[in-house]
Structure 1
């Protein structure tokens, strides 16, 4: 077999950005030509973007995608290019890859298996193609084959598994491609980012290349394409069970081209990173793309001095740092839409000051510790920092209600009411700051709070985007300790010294989150089994009674509290701001876990625990 040069190209696409999407693909093709690539593979649905949602159901949308393909074809002279797009045949839409050889479409490969778990709802839009079947469709006044196809280039015989196709065990197309004796399998993907997922992909590639005794090339989309899902832009090549090449993930560039020779020796393998590092890489890029694609001027954050808001402040600072490191100062500012390029001795901090505005909104229940924590953190990263008291507004609301109902509100009788009014009073004024700046308001809810509704609707849930809503509080607390040292963020020292608290009750009542709820480490273990693994309360008790070593009554109490609060607060989860999918699962009903707003609340299932 000749040693030819192939490549994968990742692109950062946006639904309905037709000219931008096409231009990024063309630039990737031109770069591949400079690298003397003979076969270039682009990701799944690269022409439209994977996150087009119900646009795929429109008659005009797949038709427009084919029109864009026609514009792309002349740029493919002298090489072979594979690129993803939707194709409609009568009333059915297929997820396809067009194979263009020397500016002529040789065929369309159709995806055979749809992703229908977690964040994916592909069966809503696409029809799976049947194995071994082909048809012909008219394209540019010619009949072109579509279906289960393979192709030849010189002495190379190659085929495709499109994303989910590769994850279907013994049913996957790779076995039939092996029977056809292909030398090379491409996997163009739109595979969402999740911490630790790249290790699973590596395992898939190594096993696939060994099982099918071939080269296996994987290429993924990159960036926060449409709001919630992040793509990491991974490109890998494996042969006979060995990883040969891998790129650096989560790039700020519009595209990357990773080329390699078809030779069975390792070439260039970027290192794999920890979960902590993956979290900050993905979140920083997601914030950058969300900001620029929404045409916003930056972010506004109610900075309480606690863990959640502080973690988000650090993520924005890292967005700036990493963007400058990769793109350079001027290019980062151009992509971010920053009008005034910093010219000071510390452009990073100056840019953070332009892009992140924070405010500490204190009450008589706030402590000097949290104010000092917020102020020092903002100063350390360069964020604009304001502070004000909201007691006057809280007292005004409270007085009006007391006059209306004819009695004073007390902490003994009106605890939740008096807590919530403080959180809700903070919302209108911080929204004013966001509006003034034409900026995105960052909501600070985490997944653990979403589980149990430990958040005030129209208060701390207010926001345009909720960056950490898909990760648990226990992770956030550990990540902040890691970030202080590993990201060189000394401003986190005070944050990490504080115990998490909402600071909504009088200080003498010593309110803490874990006293209100349960230990965050326990919430994590219950939610993994209840939400990720869909276990019953009884199953969870039997499993955790051995693992956690808690007193039976205590563990039963925690499990009951979790399920009762979970059931009671689905309406809140339905209204949370959009969040990034970052972990192996999340609780967003729009992307991962659907649950009835009204239910019996696991009453019978929880009653069974008392019978043990």
Structure 2
């Protein structure tokens, strides 16, 4: 809750109108069998209630498990001005590699909507999209975008100017390029803005998330965040032009014709959003330029992913440092290098006070020198093979 609250306040300070968090952002993705506990869903709802209180003047999407009619669902909650507009349960679950979602969750059928009572509100629960004034907003949850049976042909999304994707996509070498292709292709298919969000950090001691944020615009990547950050969260802020999306839909005849489809019963009305210049006449339009991803080489990706994994493991375990058994071989030597590299990079990114605060460590004699931190926090013991 605390990290979500900090990011909501930071977004409001930048006059953000729509803010999207990743999949299962309230609980984390890797609760595993704890998702089978009603207590987990109950605690997630308790956090959601606190988050709702922060949403005056902003529309927020967060991920959480929701218990409904005897089953647990992996959901996105859409909140606006202290009110839940709707709950979107995931329709296609992941069951490959490190993912076992069908063990804990049930998939929701396409085009179905049920009523549900949550936190004192009657809320639509199901395959819904949102009409926020003149903006139509669609929701996608991770695997729904990757699957061949997913939302590329979903009629309710093809009318949207903005589609948001709440994801928990684990790190793998080269996967970022695949994600970029996915986001660009989806934005082309819908002729819309397509926002992709991902988790950041290490979960359950074994799965790393790179925190990548992407904005697709009619077939290209319009904005991206820096991956592998050591902050507890980051924002990617961009302004969008709804008229550009509408003109693109008019020009592109391959976009699904939704005029004859009965989807009104699956459209939830919310309040209209403000234009960027209306909310702050002095604000500079934030839509120019795309930052370059400098972490595309495999060995650089590996180094950066290990940096995030080691940093988050050390922080969450509240350990005082690393102890490494050195045999003189390649494996243990690489481990020592990775630990030292993480500390040096964390010092560069967070500064001495930020690093000390993250790990609750005292400052060394020379806090600006990474060698002082490494000597203090990396211990090696020689054990010959």
TM-score higher than 0.5 here? yes
Match of 2:134 in 1: 155
Match of 1:260 in 2: 238
When Rg is computed on C-alpha atoms for both structures, the one with the higher figure is 1
Aligned residue among 316, 325, 336 for 2:348: 325
> 1:171-250 to 2 correspondence within 5 Å?
171-177=149-155, 180-250=158-228
1:355 aligns with 2:355: no
- Residues 260 and 267, structure 1, Cα contact 8 Å, conserved in 2: no
Compared with structure 1, are the counterparts of its residues 76 and 90 closer, same or farther at alpha carbon in structure 2 (3 Å cutoff)? Answer: same
1:278 aligns with 2:301: yes
User: Counting helix residues as a fraction of each chain, which structure ranks higher?
Assistant: 1
Cα distance in structure 1, aligned partners of 2:145 and 2:201: 22
Cα distance in structure 2, aligned partners of 1:321 and 1:101: 41
Question: CA offsets, 1:199-248, max 9 Å, x none?
Answer: 00001011111111111100001000221100110000011111000010
**Partner SS for 1:60:** helix
| TM-score with structure 2 setting the length | 0.85
Match of 1:44 in 2: 23
> 1:554-569 to 2 correspondence within 5 Å?
none
- Residues 151 and 157, structure 2, Cα contact 8 Å, conserved in 1: no
Cα distance in structure 2, aligned partners of 1:180 and 1:212: 5
User: Counting strand residues as a fraction of each chain, which structure ranks higher?
Assistant: 2
- Residues 178 and 212, structure 1, Cα contact 8 Å, conserved in 2: no
Q: Which stretch shows the higher mean deviation, 95-104 or 295-304?
A: 295-304
**Partner SS for 1:256:** coil
Match of 2:282 in 1: none
**Partner SS for 1:322:** helix
Match of 1:343 in 2: 365
> 1:172-571 to 2 correspondence within 5 Å?
172-177=150-155, 180-263=158-241, 266-273=288-295, 274-338=297-361, 340-344=362-366, 347-362=369-384, 504=385
**Pairwise CA distance, 1:268:** 3.1
**Pairwise CA distance, 1:285:** 1.3
If asked which structure has higher relative contact order (CA below 8 Å, sep 6+), I would say: 2
Q: Which stretch shows the higher mean deviation, 140-149 or 128-137?
A: 140-149
Q: Which stretch shows the higher mean deviation, 135-144 or 91-100?
A: 135-144
**Partner SS for 1:269:** coil
Compared with structure 1, are the counterparts of its residues 179 and 283 closer, same or farther at alpha carbon in structure 2 (3 Å cutoff)? Answer: closer
Question: CA offsets, 1:369-394, max 9 Å, x none?
Answer: xxxxxxxxxxxxxxxxxxxxxxxxxx
Compared with structure 1, are the counterparts of its residues 165 and 272 closer, same or farther at alpha carbon in structure 2 (3 Å cutoff)? Answer: farther
Cα distance in structure 1, aligned partners of 2:187 and 2:339: 39
Question: CA offsets, 1:84-135, max 9 Å, x none?
Answer: 0000013200000100011110000111111100000000000001000000
- Cα-Cα RMSD: 1.5
| TM-score with structure 1 setting the length | 0.54
Question: CA offsets, 1:515-545, max 9 Å, x none?
Answer: xxxxxxxxxxxxxxxxxxxxxxxxxxxxxxx
Question: Any gaps of 5 or more consecutive residues in structure 1?
Answer: 1-21, 363-503, 505-612
Size of the aligned set, in residue pairs, is 340
Question: Any gaps of 5 or more consecutive residues in structure 2?
Answer: 245-286
Question: CA offsets, 1:314-369, max 9 Å, x none?
Answer: 1111111111111111111111121x20232763111111211002224xxxxxxx
- Residues 22 and 62, structure 2, Cα contact 8 Å, conserved in 1: yes
**Partner SS for 1:87:** strand
Compared with structure 1, are the counterparts of its residues 361 and 179 closer, same or farther at alpha carbon in structure 2 (3 Å cutoff)? Answer: closer
Compared with structure 1, are the counterparts of its residues 305 and 36 closer, same or farther at alpha carbon in structure 2 (3 Å cutoff)? Answer: same
**Pairwise CA distance, 1:27:** 0.3
